[in-house]
Chains A and B, each alone.
Chain A
Amino acid sequence: MIPLITSIIAITLSAGTSLVYATIGEIYTERSGILNLGIEGMMLMSAVTAFATAFHTGSLLLAVLLAMLVGMLLALIHAFLSITMRANQVVSGLSITLFGTGLASFLGQSLGPASNRFNLTGMSAVKFTRLQVEGLGEIPLLGAVFNQDPLTYIVYLLIPVAWYFMYKTKFGLNLRSVGENPQTADAMGLSVTKIRYLYTIFGGMLVGIGGAHLSLAYTPGWTENITGGRGWIVIALVIFSMWNPSRAILGAILFGGINAVQFRLQASGTDIPSAYLNMAPYVATILVLVLVTVWESHNRKVGPPAALGTSYMREDK
């Protein structure tokens, strides 16, 4: 029993890693007042970039860096459209997802080796392996926490740092005020435009790492729909964590856990058809969303940043 639970914890953390990166990234973006629904497309693009880089160069570091860059570039497009061009943020984000999905599929069919008809699917490359922390890794149950890949270890640090930065520093205060009340922030001398650009791109960078984790560590390799809607689950997790980076871990554990249990059930050969088993994360997302929304409507103190999804233009006032 203990080894089974340990393995479920281990898979949970590994499955949750990409979710935490992307959720924290999106929390930072949304806190500045920009809603980015392009996460799914950005994760797909960074996953294919990371895998193709690892495949051709053999460098994991370069793979992660390029994935971050791709995430930042796509976020920059969204920032330009929604901040400078004041486009509808929902549609702009959707178009990032549509474009990213199409381009990732195109790249997956053209960056592979000639021997595989330029397809990346079915190829293998260098990947992140689990590193056991000396001593700690052997503890029953808890050992799973210290038997992870490097990107997961970085997540352990990222969560408190992201929380501290947002709530305990001047920069975090500025970020939150731009998302809550851009008029006042502007009057205080903050550049709303600059801060929104900055955190939209920063968010994209974290989403990029999340995508890289999928194709380099969690399910190493490239398959057409490797994210399986994770980019959308992230948007729900942002709501679930009430825009607080420290709570991003809860959602990731919940959804990582669902993945892990699914994985174990499938491996043990259950009678439930896998299609119905695979529905679990999506059904859970809807349930969680309904519960959190109802709870938030009775608790006026929490909720999205007041200016979320609206463009700011001084001339309009």
Chain B
Amino acid sequence: MQLVFEKRKSVSRRAIVLVPILSFIVSLILTGFLLLAFKANPFRTYIAMFIGAFGSWSNFTETLVKATPLMLTGLGVTIAFKLRFWNIGAEGQLVFGGVAAAWVALFWSPFLPAWSLLPMVMLVGMLAGAMWAGIPALLKTRLNVDETLVTLMMNYIAILFAEGLYYGVWRDPDGYGFPGTKPFPEAAWLPRFSGRAHMGLFIAIGIGLLLWVAMNRTKWGFELNMIGKNQKAARCLGVNVKRNILIALLISGALSGLAGVSEVTAISHRLQQGIAMGYGYTAIIVAWLSQLNPIAGLFVAVLMAGLLVGGDQIQMMMGLPAAMGLVLQGMILFPMLAGSLFTEYRIKRIDPRNSRVAESNEELSV
């Protein structure tokens, strides 16, 4: 008797929900072994992480603080991945959005009425993020240059560009050498509602809901889906593939740019060292774990933020490295990728003695 994979007629709905949840559990178990190797009790560690991230309202607001940029970048990555455009440049788009926001906040305030400063900061920040994603999108659609590498290289360029500014010409002369700009005028601050948690959260949730509608209920969403599944077929059916890619990537970059805007206008109130926290990379996990579903993405972003905040907490409480949270995050995609096979295939048992199908499948059996 042998086991072979057989393609399902339609994607399994049960597997779509179960696989991410099981992946998370498997990642907890695998990381548990790592903790054991370092003589830490996995249960105590996970409970400490959970309490650190969700145990009290003030801890939870910190989780929401980190969830906000993860939601925005995660949604941005989701749009791009939907098209199978591998935008791994959310980090750079976030940073460049933050840089542009700082530029407006620091230098435009003498020319603008106070009420318009924050909207202008947000607008320019989003445009900057869109531009940073638009360059690789143009290179891809015009010249067919590999987007993975270009988006990634532009992360490094944006981060170094920001560094050059806050270590150099934009450095606060009264900052005692601290790598950061002067604080923004208060008119450019995005309001907070509790602790450091800020309005960006509601903007992100709103965008997530809107995006779900746009992707599932509009012609645009239908076209994106078609391009992602089969670009040639989409082209044959008269879909303008290049234009769609460009528009989707401008939106994708704008969302990451907005994440950068909210980081500098609501959290640090200046552009400073630490703007590149890795949210843009975690966004890839958010997008894939949510199976490119914007609403699921909002919840996954909170979970990933919880792992980051929990990681910081166990560092303080148990002396374990904060990178623990990153290990858990990184581990999560392995079972997820392995499991996604079961959404499209099922395992079938066959008997080679009385089946012709079995013969041709012999060597591929598992």
Contact = CB atoms under 8 A, between A and B. Distances in A.
B326 A101 contact: yes
Interface residues of A, number: 52
A313 interface: yes
A91 B145 contact: no
Contacts of B341: 85-87
B286 to A, nearest CB: 11
Give the contact-size bracket for chain B.
35 or more
Interface in B226-264: none
B7 to A, nearest CB: 7
B324 interface: yes
Contact of B156 (A88, A99, A105, A282): A282
Contact of A283 (B157, B320, B361): B157
A100 B364 CA distance: 30
Interface string A132-171: 0000000000000000000000000000000000000000
A110 interface: yes
A103 B329 CA distance: 10
A210 B307 CA distance: 31
A109 B315 CA distance: 11
A278 interface: yes
Given A94-B284, A314-B364, A77 B334 contact: yes
A102 B334 CA distance: 14
B223 interface: no
B330 A286 contact: no
Contacts of B156: 228-229, 279, 282
B148 A106 contact: no
B338 interface: yes
A87 B284 contact: no
B321 A99 contact: no
B161 interface: yes
B186 interface: no
Interface in A65-98: 77, 80-81, 84-88, 90-92, 94-95, 98
A231 B154 CA distance: 15
Contact of B160 (A91, A103, A118, A279): A279
A95 B333 contact: yes
Contacts of A88: 337, 340
A45 to B, nearest CB: 11
Interface string A277-289: 0110011011001
Contacts of A283: 153, 157
B185 to A, nearest CB: 26
A232 B149 contact: yes
Contact of B144 (A92, A229, A293): A293
B330 A102 contact: yes
B21 interface: no
B168 A275 contact: yes
B331 A81 contact: no
Interface string B160-174: 110110011000000
A297 B333 CA distance: 34
B337 A87 contact: yes
A294 interface: yes
A100 B326 CA distance: 10
B150 A289 contact: yes
Given A85-B337, A102-B330, A286 B150 contact: yes
B5 interface: yes
A195 interface: no
Contacts of B157: 279, 282-283
26 contacts: A85-B337, A87-B337, A87-B338, A87-B340, A92-B333, A95-B285, A95-B330, A98-B333, A99-B333, A101-B326, A103-B34, A105-B326, A106-B321, A106-B326, A110-B38, A118-B321, A229-B156, A235-B148, A275-B164, A275-B167, A276-B160, A282-B153, A286-B150, A293-B144, A294-B143, A315-B6
Interface of B: 4-7, 34, 38, 86, 88, 139, 143-146, 148-150, 152-154, 156-157, 160-161, 163-164, 167-168, 281-282, 284-285, 288, 320-324, 326-327, 329-331, 333-334, 337-338, 340-341, 345, 360-361, 363-364, 366
Given A94-B88, A95-B288, 5 more contacts: A92-B337, A103-B327, A109-B323, A313-B5, A314-B363
